[in-house]
Amino acid sequence: MSSTTDKLKGLANETVGNIKQGIGNATGNDKLVAEGKAQELKGEAQKTTGEVKDGVKNVADKITGR
């Protein structure tokens, strides 16, 4: 998966997770809040993976002179 794909999927998961948390809080559904938090954290991890891939590529480009 490319770094851009990781970042976009991460952003989508964060957004959906936040929406779930909001709905769960509004309705008193603790299970939905927990699911939303888990999905938000998954999204953060995906975005971080994409950022790390970008960093590795940038270092590799500098080393190879690109």
pLDDT tens-digit readout, 3-16: 999 999 999 999 99
pLDDT at 12: 98
Average pLDDT of the chain, as a whole number? 95
pLDDT at 57: 85
Structure token digits, residue 37: 């938090």
Structure token digits, residue 18: 């936040």
Distance, CA of 51 to CA of 47 (rounded, Å) = 6
Question: pLDDT tens digits for 13-43?
Answer: 999 999 999 999 999 999 999 999 999 999 9
Q: How confident is the model at residue 47 (pLDDT cuts 50, 70, 90)?
A: very high
